[in-house]
Structure 1
Amino acid sequence: MSFRLAVCAEMVYNELPIIERVERIHDLGFEVELWDTRPRDVAALAATGARFSSMSGYYGGSLIDPDGADEVVASAEKLIPTALELGVERMVVHPAELGEAGRAVRPIHRPTGEMWLAGLRTLERLAVLGAAHGVTFALENLNTIVDHPGIPLARAKDTMALVAAVDHPNITMMLDLYHAQIGEGNLIELIIKAQQWVGEIQVADVPGRFEPGTGEIRYPAVAKVLAGIGYEGVVGLEAAAAGGSGIESSDHALAAFRTAFTI
């Protein structure tokens, strides 16, 4: 298997404290994805010995709003020490500001040219910041039908266009195939088109956002395509366990994920 597997600690083993979740994921041989690290004990997370593939890379502002871009960059800079302490490879950003339950803080349903330019310029600023500190920012695509209504420029084809326009090694895509399936479909062609820009891939099945094998996406076929193009990066499970709460359900979800991506 040419790629590495990670698991989002925010969505499984939720009956355990976050440190115990990270330890369990690590002990099972996976890398770890995190969301907002500000409420976390960073030293305790680092002491787990886990390898952290990604974390949220900002906590305010909007990438595509000139008035909010300074807040994006400033909050990203404040999070860099945490990323460096944990050895995080990618700091994740989104096209616009997310609020409660991932909803748009200021819903916008029609992108404009000004938004494109603002997004490009903000990513260019993040590229400079990332290069100065040795970190990489990853722009994640989102779906606007189920989970993130009102987020403009969120489709994978839009995020790919922005990352390609920046064309900088410290700016990549967080290609989320769950979101792409809901909003666009045609995942294999998308992977092939986006491959040179992808820093990490996230997965969950549709519908429900559960582990592979519970929905309509043929993830073993996706795994074969990734192996075929020589992808050597991270595939991260950002999904809840279909079996509900309980350690056994999460164990089953992680086992199903590993099986789907074992070539």
Structure 2
Amino acid sequence: MTYRLAACAEMLFLEWPIEERVRRIHERGLLVEIWDWSAKDLAALAATGAEFSSMTGYLRGDLTTAEGRAALLATARESLRAAEIIDVPRLNLHGTGLGEGGLPVVPRAQISGEDWVHAADTLRRIADLGAEAGRTFVLENLNTAVDHPGTPFAKAADTLALVRGIDHPNLRLNLDLYHAQIGEGNLVELVREALPWVGEIQVADVPGRCEPGTGEIRYEAVAAALRQLGYGGVIGMEAWASGDPDAALDAFTAAFSA
């Protein structure tokens, strides 16, 4: 393997406090993903000795409205300061803030040309913040059919167009293959096209958003393509466990270690 594996502590070992979830993932030799850092004891997470792959890189805001852009930039700065405590290299972004149940705070059924211009300008400024701090922001694609209806710039084609157009080393893609399968499919070709701009890849199976092997995606083929392409980044399981969390992690590591 040329890549490294990670798992999301927000979705596994849910009967335990977050520090114990992080510790259990770390003990398996995996990197750890978290989401909202603001309600967590970051010093306690650092004390676990875990190596973190990514966390949410903002608290509120969006890419296009004047108020939302200001909030996104301000809370991205806060997130960069938080990232120093647990040394997170990648900070995750979406087209707009996500509220309860993953629903967009500022839903947009239609995206105008002006929205694209504003989004690109906001992301350039975010990338510059990342460069100053020595960290990378990653823009995640989502799906609007199941989990995040109304989210702007949700498709992998949209996030790729933005990141490729800006072409800044501190702004990359968080290519989520679960969301892409629901929204677009053709995952191996998507990976081939997007790989030069990928900062991290996330996986879960479809339907259900559980570990590889529980749905329709043949992740062994995706893993083979990534090895052939020489991908050396992180692959993170952002998935629920269909049963025992350790068994879910076994299935994940097996799919990407063959």
Instruction: Give yes or no for contact 1:63–1:97 (8 Å, CA) kept in 2.
Output: no
Give the Å deviation of 1:163: 0.3
Give the Å deviation of 1:118: 1.0
The more displaced of 153-162 and 60-69 is 60-69
Secondary structure of the 2:75 match is helix
Which residue matches 2:115?
115
Alignment of 1:31-42 (within 5 A): 31-42=31-42
Once the two structures are superposed, what CA deviation does each residue of 1:5-46 show, in whole Å capped at 9, x if it has no partner? 000000000001100000000001100000001111111101
Alignment of 1:162-241 (within 5 A): 162-241=162-241
Alignment of 1:85-100 (within 5 A): 85-100=85-100
Give ranges in structure 1 of 5+ residues lacking alignment: 244-248
CA distance in 2 between partners of 1:105 and 1:37 (Å): 19
> Are positions 1:20 and 2:15 aligned together?
no
CA distance in 2 between partners of 1:97 and 1:18 (Å): 22
Secondary structure of the 2:54 match is strand
Alignment of 1:5-154 (within 5 A): 5-154=5-154
Once the two structures are superposed, what CA deviation does each residue of 1:164-210 show, in whole Å capped at 9, x if it has no partner? 11111000000000000000000000000000000000000000000
Give the Å deviation of 1:65: 2.3
CA distance in 1 between partners of 2:242 and 2:221 (Å): 21
CA distance in 1 between partners of 2:79 and 2:96 (Å): 18
Give the Å deviation of 1:143: 0.2
Instruction: Give yes or no for contact 2:7–2:237 (8 Å, CA) kept in 1.
Output: yes
Which residue matches 1:246?
none
Could you tell me the TM-score, scaled by structure 1's length? 0.97
Secondary structure of the 1:122 match is helix
Once the two structures are superposed, what CA deviation does each residue of 1:122-156 show, in whole Å capped at 9, x if it has no partner? 00001111111111100000000000000121100
Instruction: Give yes or no for contact 2:173–2:200 (8 Å, CA) kept in 1.
Output: yes
Q: Which residue identity lines up with residue 254 of structure 2 in the other structure? A: T
CA distance in 2 between partners of 1:230 and 1:65 (Å): 39
CA distance in 1 between partners of 2:151 and 2:114 (Å): 15
Equivalent residue for 1:259, pick from 239, 254, 257: 254
CA distance in 2 between partners of 1:218 and 1:89 (Å): 29
Instruction: Give yes or no for contact 2:62–2:106 (8 Å, CA) kept in 1.
Output: no
CA distance in 1 between partners of 2:181 and 2:166 (Å): 25
Could you tell me the TM-score, scaled by structure 2's length? 0.99
Secondary structure of the 1:223 match is helix
Give the Å deviation of 1:104: 1.3
Percent of paired sites with the same residue: 57
Give the Å deviation of 1:64: 2.5
Secondary structure of the 1:175 match is strand
Give the Å deviation of 1:67: 2.9
CA distance in 2 between partners of 1:220 and 1:66 (Å): 44
> CA RMSD for the aligned pairs?
0.7
CA distance in 2 between partners of 1:228 and 1:206 (Å): 24
Secondary structure of the 1:191 match is helix
CA distance in 1 between partners of 2:32 and 2:94 (Å): 19
CA distance in 2 between partners of 1:200 and 1:66 (Å): 29
